[in-house]
Structure 1
Amino acid sequence: MAGTIVEVAGFLGTTAGALQAFLQAKEVFLDPLKVRPLVNVEEIRDALNEAIRVSGSIRMDFEDEVEKSKTRVPSRIYMEWLHRVMEIEGQVRDVIAQSNEKKWFWFISGRQDFREDMKKMHEKVIQLCQESKEIRDKMLVDRAPERVVKRKGPDISKYEALRKPLEEILECLKRPKVKVIGIHGTVGIGKTTVMLNLNNHDRVAQMFDIVIWLPVSKEGSKENLGREHLQLSIAQRLKLTIAGTSNANDVAVRIATELKRKKYLLLLDDVKTYPDFDEIGIPLSNNGSKVVLTTRLSHVSRNKMVNKVIKVAYLLEHEAWTMFRDVLGREELIKDVKIGPVAWQVCRECRGVPLLIEKVANTFRLKHDESLWSDGLNSWRMWPSQECKGMREMYELLRFCYNDLGDDRYKICFLYGALYPEDSDINKDSLLECWGAEDLLGYRNDARKVRVMTGDLILTHLMNVSLLEEGKSDYYVTMDKFIRQVALYILEENPECDHLVETNKELSKPPDEETWRKKRRISLGDNKLDELPQSPNCSTLSTLFLQKNLGLTTIPPAFFKRMRKLRVLDFSHTGITSLPSSLSVLTILKVLHLNNCEQLVELPSHIMKLVQLESLDIHGSGITYIPPHIDKLIFLKRLWVSLGNGNDTTDVSFNYDMISKLSGLEELVIEVISPQQWNEVVEHIMKEVAKLQKFKRLKVCISNRIIDVIEVAPMTVRIRVPEARILLSYIRRTWWKEVRRIGAFRIFIGCENSEYNQNPEFVRYEKYFKYCNGADSKTPILEVLKEAEAFELVNHKDIKQLSDFGTANMDRIRGCLIEGCDAIEAIMDTVGSELLPNLEQLFMKDLPMLKSIWKEGPLQPGSLCKLTTVVISSCRTLVKIFPPGAIQQLHEIQYLTIEKCNEVEEIIPKADAGVILPKLEELTLLGMKKLRSICANESLEWPSLEKLKIFECRGLCKLPFKKGNVANLRRIEVEGKWWGALQNQEDKKELEKLCNFGMTQQCSSMKKRRSEQAFEN
C-alpha cells in the first residue's frame, strides 16, 4: 500500500510537500489494525485533508483533459469514478468541519468511532487514487456519431413545388406502416434539393437517433454503386471500424447490429436500381426507422417495397421567376425596359427546372446589355431539339451554359475537370497546376505567376457560373454529376475524340493497348485495376489519371517508354511499391502525384531526369522525408510531403535542411501526423524557407485540416505562427523591410483560428496584427507592432497594461481590441509621451481586473486625439470609465458602448463641465446593474447625439437629457417599463416621441444566458 501512495503521488506530479505528507501518514493508515493508540484526531484529520487534496488534483487534471478534448467524450467508467470522488470529497469536508467545531472535545476524548470513520475515508481516497491510473486510459471514448450532419442546400421556403413534397414526406415519417418513401421526378427537378432540406429539418433531428445520407448513383451505368462501397460509407457514418474485415457479409452483420439499436432515417440519393437492403445490412425494422430515396426512374419508384411515392413537379411560372431573379441577384437588369422582357423569356425557356434556372441565371448574370441577352437567348433556342426528351434534352440545355463561356481557355479548363471521378473533391491548387502544365491557360512561355493568376480568374469564373462548385472546404472544388455528364457528352461528340474517361466503373482490367493509342488525355481513376499494359503506344498522351486503384501494385518496366509527351501523371491512392526506370523518359513531365501511395517508401534516383517537374506530391505515402535527389529539379515550384505516416506518430528525423536547397520552390505543404509536432515543425521550416528568394506559400496539414502559415500575394503577406519567437526567426531572415515599407500584412500569433479578425471592423486596416495566448510583455513582437495599424491582444496571461509593450511601438495603431486578458489593470500609463495618437477604435472585452482605461492623471497633449469609437464589455471590476478631466480631451468620440460592467456607477465624472464629447452620435448602455447616473451635471450639452440605447440599467432613474440639449436626437431604444419609472424627467413627453420600446435581441440573449446559468447553478 505504501508503494501505491508513492506511485499515485508521482503519477500526478504532486508537490514534494504533498508526497512527504503521504509518507508521514502511511504508518497511521495503511493497516487499521496497526494504528498507534496515541495518534489523535487532529493528526488524522490533517493527513486526511492532505489525501483529499491530492485526489482533488487528480480529478481536476482529468476534468481539464476532458474539457480540452473536442473529438472524444467521457466514458461511463470515468463518470462513475468521478461521482465517487466527488461524493467522498463531500463526506470529508463534513467530517473535517465537525472536527474543527469540536476540536478540543475530540482531542481529549479521542473517540475511537470518529477515528475509524476517518481511517475508512482515507482508505477510500487511496483506493480511488489507485484506480485513477487505470481510469486515465479509459477516460475518453470516441464521440457518438452526430444525430444529423447538416448539408448545404438551397432554401425552398419560397417555392411551393418543392416545399409541398417536403411537407408530405414529413407527414409520412409519422406513419408506422410507411417504411420506404420514394421521391420521383426528372433530372434537375429538385429531388435532391428536397431531400437536403429534409436532412436539415429540425423535426427530423427530433424524430430519429441518426440520419444517414448516402449517394448511391454510379456513373455511366444503370446500376448503383457496389455493395462494398455503400457499406463503407454507412460504416464511416456510424463510426464502425471495419478495417481488416474483407467479408461483405460480416460487414452487413456489423451494420445491422448497430442499426437495430437505433431509430434511423436512411436517405438514398439518385437510386438507379432498388437496393437489396439485407445484403447491405439495413434492417427494415418496426421501430420507426425509415428509408427515403430519390430516383428519376419510374421502375424504382414503382417497386413494391416503396410504400409511398411523392412526385416533384416543375416550378410554377411565378416560382421559377422568383428563383431566376434570386440567382441572378441583379435587380437593375430586371428593371431595365429592354433586358427585363428578355430575362422573362430566358426564364421561361428553363421550363421550371431548378437546375437549369440556377445554371442559366448564373450564365446571364454576367451579361450587361440587351444585345448580349438577346444573342444569348437566340443561341440557346437553337440548341434543344423538339424530339429530345429526358436526359438528352437536359444535356443539350445545360450545354448552352458551356457554349456561353466563349473563350476557348475557359471551355477546355472546364472540360478538363471531367477527367476527375464523379463526386471528387478536386484540390484547387492541383487543378491549377494541371491546367498550367497542359498549357491550357494560353501562356506557354510566360512566368508561372502569370499562369497562376490566369488560372485563378478562370477558376473563379467557372464557380461564378456554377459549372464548378465549392467542395468540402475552401481548398477544393467539385463538379455536379450532371454538369460532368455534359462535359463528357461534349467530349464524345467529337468523332476524333482524343479523351478516354472510364472512371468509377470497377474495372479490374485496363482497356486494351489499341484503345490507348492517340489519346490526348486518359482517366481510369477510382476503379479496381490490378495491372497495366506493358508499353502502350501513347505518343500524344499529355495527362494520365490512375488514382484510387488500390489493387495496382506494379508498374510494368517499359510502361512509360512511349509517353514522352506526358505532362501530368497521377498515381495517388494506389498500391504501387516502386517507380520503373522508364519514368526517366518523361523529361517534360510537370506534375507528379504520388500521394497516399503507402507502399511507396522511396523515390528512385532517376527522378532527377524529370528536369521540367514543377509540382511533386508525395504526402501520405511511405516517403516521410524530402528525397535528396530532388534538389536537382531546378524548376520544382510546389512540394507536398508528410512528416511521419499514419503508422508512426512518434517524432522522426526530418531533413529540414533540404528545403533551402530547392532554389526554385514557391510553395510547400507539409502534413504533420501528430498535432504535438506543430510548433517544432513550423519553427524548423520557417527558418529554411526564409532563405528562399521565390517562396510564396507554406501550408501545414494536421488531421485533414490545412493551415495557411505563410501566404505572399502582390503587396500583401499573411503569416500565422504558434509562437512569437518563430515569427521573429522568419522576418529577420526575409524581405520584411520591403513589406514594412510598401506592403500590407495580416499576422497571427498563437491564434486558434486565423481566418477571422476578432473585430470585423479591422478589415479596412492594411497592416493587421493579432496576438493570442501570450505570456510575456518582453515578447519579440515589437518589430511587427511598430508597423501595425490594427492590433488585437487576446487571452494574454500576465501583461498588466497595454503600454508595457512600449507606447512608442504603438504610434501607428488605428484599431485596438483587448479581450480575455486576465491580468490587465489599465490600458495605458499616462506618464511620458503622447499615447496612441492615431487610435480610432478601442474595444475592451472580458477584462476581469481592469480598474481604469488609463491611470490617474492628465493625458499628454496629442493622446487619443483621433479616437472615435469606444466599446467596453464585461469588465467586472471597472469603476471609472473616464477619470476626472480626461474626457475633455476625447473630443472626437462618436460611438460609445458600455455593457455588463457591473461596478460602474457613473459614466462622466461630476467635475467635468461645459461641452464634452461634442461629436458623440450614439450612446449604448446595456446590463449595468449599479449604474446610477450618466452624468450628474445637467448643464452639459450633447450637440451631436442622434441615438440612445439603454437596457437593463434598472438603477438609472434619471437622464441628463432634455429637448434643449439634445437637439439632434432622433431615436431612443429602451424598455417601456423602465421608461415609465423615470423620475422627474424634464421634457419626458417630448422625448417619448423618439422612443422605440422593447427588448433588443442582444438583451434578450443576455437574459437567456443568465437563465441558463441560474439553471446550471
Structure 2
Amino acid sequence: MASGFLEGAAVNAVGNVVSNGLIHSYSHIRAKFASSRNLDENYKQLINEKRSLLATKEYVDAEARTHRQKRRTTYVYSIWINKVSATVAEVEQLTGKYERKRLQRFRIQQRSRLSEKMAKMCSKVVQLTEEGRLPTGFLEGKLAEAIIEVRHTHDIEGYPTLKSSLEMILRLLRKNRIRGIGVCGIAGVGKTTILQNLNNNKEVAVLFDIVIFVKVSAEQRDQKLQKSIAKRLLLDIEGIDDDNMIAGLISEELKDKKYLLILDEVVDYINLNQLGIQNNDNGSKVVLATRFRYVCKLSNVNIVIELVSSKCSSLPLVIKVIASSFKLKDTAESWRDGIEDLNKLWPAIQSQGLKELYSFLRFCYDELEDEKQKKCFLYGSLYPADSKIFTDYLVECWAAEGFLGDVNDTRKYQNARDRGYAILEHLINVSLLEKGKRIKDVRMSNFIRELALHISSEDPECNFFVKDSEESAELTTSQAWEQAKRVSMIHSGLHVLPENPSCNNLFTLLLQKNSNLAKIPPNFFEHMSGLLVLDLHRTEIGKLPSSLSKLTSLKGLYLNECKFLTLLPPEIASLQFLEVLDIRGSTVKFIPFHIQNLVNLRCLRISYVKNSDGTESQGQKTDSNVIAMLQKLEELVIEVDSYNHWCNGIADVIHQVASLKNLSTLRFCFPDSDSLTDFITNNSQWKNRKLNAFQFFVGCKNSKLRILESFEHRITRYMKYYNGRSEDDSTIKEVLAETDAFELICHNSVTKLSDFLEAASLKRIRGWSIESCNSLSTIIDSSFVPLSNSIVGNNMTTLGNNIDYNDSASNGSILPNLEQLYLKRLLNLESVFDCPMQPRSLSKLQILEIMNCPKLTRIFNDEAICQLSRLQKLTIKVCFEIEELVLPKLETLVLNDMPKLKNICINKSLAWPSSLEVLKISSCPQLKSLPFRKENATSLRFIRGEQDWWNEMDWATTDDDDIKWLQSIFVPQIQIL
C-alpha cells in the first residue's frame, strides 16, 4: 500500500488546494437563498415522498414474509424497516414544525434551514424508497452489496481545480498496479470535498463492487473504524466483542469483492490487515486523505505546494490563475523559482479573486446577529493573518472601542468582558475565527482576513489602514493615515513615524512588534484626541512625548515589553478615561505616582523591577497608597523581577491591594504564607467569594505556568507554594479549597500529602504538580480518610467543564476532578496511591507523569488501578527501583531510564484490550519481554525503542504470529515519527 501512496502523490497538485470554507461560501450560501424561497414546495414534496415510502414498505412487508426462513434476509429486512421507521419519524418532526409555524413570520435564516433540512430529507426518503423497490434479490442480501452510499457534498463542476484533482484520482484508480492513493494537504484545502465526490462518481460505481467511505476522526480508534466498516457491509456483529472475529467477518465478506475503501481525515498509520481489509489482488483500492505527509510518505516537492496554498489563502479563483503556470513545473528548483515570482505578483493576483468572492462572505457577515458582532469580527482583521491574538487583549480592545457597551459603575468592566467572550465564542463557532494552539489565543486565517478587509474597505465606519510585515516604512507618511479610523502596522519594519499627523478620526493605532521603532516625535499625538487604543508593545521607545496629554479619550494603553522605557511622564495623568494600562516587562519604576490620577482604571498590569545598579527602585515609599486610590480596579497583575527587593516593605502593598473592593482578578507574589494570610483576612472580595480568578505565588516570584497551558479549558485559579513549612500551612489549605491548579515545590517537612491537606477539600483540584519535596514518602496512603462533606467555595464563578463540586456521589472520593498529576524530583517517594479508593476517586485523571523519583517502587494498588478509567498517558522516567509495573487502561505509555524494570503486567480485572496506542521505551535494559499480543493490544500503532534493546528481546513465550506483528510495528528510536 505504501508504494501506491508514492505513486498517488500527484493527487496533491495545486488544484487540490481549495478551501472547504470557500466552497461553503460559494455553493452553500447561494443554496440558502434558493432554499428559503422553496420551503413550501419542499414541504409538499416531502409529504408525497413519505406516502411513496410507506406504500413501498407495505410491499416489502409482504415479500419478506415469504423469505423469512433465511437469516440474512431477515437481518437485511430488519435493517431497512428500522431505517424506514426512523426516517418517517424524522419526516413527521420536520413537517410538524412547518405546520406549527407556517402562520408565523419566518426569518430568512429559519426558512432556509428548515427548507434545507426538508430537501435533504426528501433525498433520504427517495433513496430508501428506491432500495425497497429493488428486485426480490434485495431481500437475499443485495442491500449489503449496494455499490455506493451517496454522500451529501458540494458540486465541484464549477471548480476546475477540484475537478482536475478528482479526474487525476480516477485515472490512478484505473491502473491495476496502484493499490493505495494518498491525498495530503493542510486543513481546509478541499480533501474531504474531493473524496466525497469520488464516492458519488458514476465511474466508481462501474469500477468497483462496493465503495466504503469512512470519516476517521482524531478520536476514532481502530475498534470504531472497524465497526464503521462492518456497519457499511451490513454485517451482524451485535454482541461480538472480539475484534479478531469481526475482522474475520469483514475479510470473508470482501474476499470475492472488488472494493474501494475511502478513509477521510486520517491522522496516523492504520493497520488495515488487522481490521480485516485484506489485499485480495483483484483490483481493490484504498484512498485516504490526511494532513500529515508521513502518513502518505510524500516527496519533498509537496512541501513547496503547501507553500503555494498558504500564499493563495486557498482561494480557487486565485489558484486557477497560478495553476496555469505551476502545472508545467516538474522540478523542485522550478517550483521554488515560481514561488519567488508569486511573491512579486501576489497583490495583483489577489485582487482578481476578492471582488468575485466578496458577495458570498458578505452573506456570512450579514448573518451575524448584531452590529457589535460585525464590528468585533472586522476588528480581528487588523492583526496579521494566522498570528496569535490573545483573547484577553482582543476583548479589551473591543471594550475600549465601545463594541461591548458602556462601562460604568452599574455595569462593570468584567460584565463587558463577559459579553466579549460570548461574541468571541460565537465567531469561533461560525468559523470566522479559529482557536489557537493554546486556550488563550485565536487566529484569523488569511482567506477570511483578506475578505474581511475587503468588507471594511467599503464601510465608512471602518476605514482601516493596514500594512503587514515587510511593507515599506515610507507608507507611514501616506494621506491614508489622516483619513483612517484604525491603523495597523504590526511587525511592519516601521522605524520612523510622521512628525505631526492630523488623525482626529483615529480610534485604534497598533504599532507593536516594530523593533526598529525607537522614537516618537514630540507632536505625534497632538491631533489624536479621539484615540481609544494605543499599542506600542515590544517597540524600542525610550520615552513618551508630552503630546501624550492630548489623548484624552484613550482607554487602552499597551507598553508591555518596551524594555528601554524607564518612566511614565506626568502627562499620563491627563488620561482620565484610561481603563487598561499594561507596562509589564518595561523598566518603568514600580507603581508610578502619576497612576493615582487614573481613577477610571479597571485593569493594571505592572512589573516590579530593580534599578540598573541593583538597588531598590526610587519612589516606592513615596508612591504608597497609589494602588489604594484606584478603587475601580477589577484586575491587578504585578509581576516580580527582583524577588528579594520585592519582599522588603511588601506589607504596605498587600494592605493596599486588600483594600480594593471591586477586585475580581489578581496575580500577586506573597513572600510567605503570613503575607497571604494578611491579604485574605483583609480583602472583602476574597471573604465574599467574589475573587473569580487568581494566580498566587507564595514564597517565590512569577515563573512560566506550564501546568496551565496544557489544559483544554481555561484554568482561572492557580497557586504555587514554594519552600513551605507545616506550621505555615493553615492558610494554604484555605486557599487550596478554592484552587483549580496547584504546584507544591520544595516543601521542607511534608511526608505525605494526606497529612498536608488534612481537612482541605480536594474536590476542586484539576491540575497538581509536586516537585522537590524530599521528605515526601507517599502521595496518599491508607491513613487518609477524606471528609464526606468537605467545604468547597461554591459561590465562586466556575469556568471549568464537568466539575462535580457539589455532587453527593463524590463524597468521600479522592481527587474526583483531578485531570493531570505531575511528580518530579521526589527523592524519597516510595509509593503514589496506596490507600482504599471510594467510587469516583481519580475518575477524571488523564495524564500522570513521574520523573526523577529514585526510591519509588510502587505506583498503583489494585483499587487505584480500577478507578483510572480515563487515564490516557502514563510517563515514568528516572525511577531506578521499580521492578514491575502493573498497567491500567492506557493510550500512551512512556518508560525511560528504569534500570531494574523487568516486567510490565496487564491488570486482569480491567477490560484491557485495544486501549494502548503508543509505547515508548528507552534505557530499560532488564525489560526483556512485553505482554502485548494481537488479541490484547489491538490499537497499538507503534513501539519505539533502542534497536539494541529490541534485538535482545526474549521471544520464548511469544507465538510466531505475535512476534511477526510486534516486529512490524517496532520503530527504532532514531526515527522521527
What's the TM-score bracket when you normalise by the shorter of the two chains? 0.3 to 0.5
- Structure with greater contact order relative to length (CA < 8 Å, sep ≥ 6): 2
Q: TM-score scaled by structure 2?
A: 0.46
**Structure (1 or 2) with the larger CA radius of gyration:** 1
* TM-score, length-scaled by structure 1: 0.45
